[in-house]
Amino acid sequence: MDGKPVAIGAPTDAHMAEMRQVFRNWFHTLIKGPSPGGLGFELQNGARIDFWSLSPGHNAFRGRGYSLALLDECAFVRNLTETIEQNLMPALAQYQGRLMLASTPKGYNQFHDWFRRAEREGQTVQGPSSLNPNVSPRWLAEQRKAMPEAVYQQEILAQFVTIDSGLIKREDIKLGEPPPLDRFLTLSLGLDFALTEKKTSDFSAAVLAGVDEEKRTWILKAEKWRAAWPETFQRVLQLYQLFTPHLVLTESVSFSELCVRELAAAGVPIDAIKPSTDKVARFSPIAMRYRLGLIHHSAELDQAFEDEILMFPNGGEHDDMVDALVYAVGGLDRTIRSAWGELSSGHHWAPLAHERKPQRWWGKIDGREQWFECGPETNWQIKKS
């Protein structure tokens, strides 16, 4: 309103794009044109608003000056303090600008540190979802029943709590930007079915994992939903057609056998496994891989997925994405696959693309004889030469 430049930051590209679109929809009559670099909009009164993504590897706010900066959901911004002190403070210096941090809490992280600092200066606002007149008491009561208490306190009451009380800790999760899908050697889709729409029932869940060319294991997608089988069938079919994973795994229980048969008939190479251990024992080798830093998360994953795996097995009755995670990541490990018993496709014994060792060849390169390695796809060229 003062005709000065403003910056808005969001933790992911998608979040930033959504906020930019909302602003354009609400204030289109005030927009004069795009701001320099197409980052946002120039307004009729001479003001400017830029939108910045704070996803890993960002270089936000560099070379710009702002009178106000708002960081939304900044509890989910990795290296928040570094972003503020090294990138944002210089941008605010030109106008002696103000800084506003807004977020749902996420444990005792850097956002908590900034909140306590502002609290000492009397510059904080904190409140539960019940302050929103559009949120009904009935909905709040339903969430209280459905959510673990710690999650309810965090998400609904806006309280700082520690929810990573499970087998893995938040610091075990490595976050980053995964390579394109065509750079993955193997993709695995884990599924967990719950064929009902009742609000008190379990969810259906899907987790997509993969191993890239550098042999890093990534969690690329995780979601859960409640629906009857026809909708779940279409959703799984769309996931398969979108990603074409090499493995599709689910647990073999009475009602899922029909699901497996119908998906197989539709061309999905799905296997039903029969683990002989309980959920905690099945998750333990996955948790060990997290603790060793062997599993990476895409920065675009839903926060609900991270919360669920951090609380397992102490997070309450819903652990559907944990189950799907076990199938997806376990499917990528030959030792775990073998322990699951017979699979109709033979995936338990056939090495996957990322498990195949490169072949060694003895030959001449530039007139010098030596050993060298190559993948199966290049063998014919070497033999020919």
- Span 330-341, average pLDDT: 81
What is the four-CA torsion angle of 193, 301, 163, 128, rounded to 10 degrees?
Answer: -100
Cis preceding linkage at 313, omega within 30 = yes
Three-state SS for 37-80 is HHCEEEECCCCEEEEEECCCCCCCCCCCCCCEEEEECHHHCCCH
Predicted confidence at residue 378, as pLDDT, reads 46
336 pLDDT tier (thresholds 50, 70, 90)? confident
Q: Distance (Å, rounded) from C-alpha 204 to C-alpha 226?
A: 6
Top-confidence residue, 307 or 358: 307
**CB contact burial 243-253 (16+ within 10 A = b; e otherwise):** bebbbbbbbee
Q: Which residues pair with 189 in a beta bridge?
A: 208, 248
Query: Phi first, then psi: what are they for 166, rounded to 5°?
Result: -100, -155
C-alpha–C-alpha distance, residues 55 and 71, integer Å = 12
pLDDT of residue 348: 47
Q: What is the pLDDT of residue 362?
A: 67
Rounded-to-5 percentages of helix, strand, coil across the chain: 40, 25, 40
Over residues 329-349, mean pLDDT = 70
Which is more confidently placed, 146 or 294?
294
Taking the whole predicted model, whether its pTM rises above 0.95 is answered as no
pLDDT band of 349, cuts 50, 70, 90: low
Predicted confidence band of residue 373 (pLDDT cuts 50, 70, 90): low
Please give the mean pLDDT across all residues of the chain: 86
Quote the pLDDT of residue 379: 43
Residue from 202, 179, 175, 206 nearest 192 by CA = 206
Q: Could you read off the pLDDT of 211-239 as tens digits, one per residue? A: 999 999 999 999 999 888 899 999 999 99
Between 96 and 360, the more confident residue is: 96
Q: What is the dihedral of CA 78, 313, 249, 243, to 10 degrees?
A: -20
Question: What are phi and psi for residue 51, nearest 5 degrees?
Answer: -115, 125
For residue 60, the model assigns a pLDDT of 92
Interatomic CA distance for residues 127 and 370, integer angstroms: 69
Helix (H, G, I), strand (E, B) or coil at 136: coil
Query: Residue 376 pLDDT > 50, yes or no?
Result: no
Q: Is residue 291's pLDDT more than 80?
A: yes
Which range has the worst mean pLDDT, 129-138, 209-218, 267-276, 318-327? Answer: 267-276
pLDDT at 383 over 60: no
Give the three-class secondary structure for 181: helix
- At residue 136, does pLDDT exceed 90? yes
Residue 37 burial class via C-beta count within 10 angstroms: exposed 0-12, middle 13-18, buried 19 and up: exposed
pLDDT of residue 255: 65
Q: Where in the chain is the domain with CATH 3.30.420.240?
A: 170-350
Q: pLDDT value at position 317? A: 61
| Domain 5-126 listed as CATH 3.40.50.300 | yes
Q: Specify whether the backbone of 60 is left (phi greater than 0), alpha (psi in -120 to 50) or beta.
A: beta
CATH class of domain segment(s) 170-350: alpha beta
DSSP string computed for 317-371: S--HHHHHHHHHHHTT-HHHHHHT---TT-TTTSPPGGGPPPEEEEEEETTEEEE
Query: What is the predicted pLDDT for the residue at 212?
Result: 94
**Pairs from 122-130 (Cβ < 8 Å, separation ≥ 24):** 126/158, 127/158, 128/156, 128/157, 128/158, 129/155, 129/156, 129/157, 129/158, 130/156
- Tell me which of 32-46, 50-64, 154-168 is least confident: 154-168
For residue 377, pLDDT over 80 is answered with no
What 3-state class would DSSP assign to 373?
Answer: strand
Q: Provide CATH 3.40.50.300 ranges for the chain.
A: 5-126
Q: 123 or 340: whose pLDDT is higher?
A: 123
The percentage of residues in the chain with a pLDDT greater than 70, rounded to a whole number, is 86
What would the DSSP string read from start to end of 240-294? HHHH--SEEEEE--HHHHHHHHHHHHTT--EEEE--SS-HHHHHHHHHHHHHTT-
Q: What percent of the chain is predicted at pLDDT more than 90?
A: 55
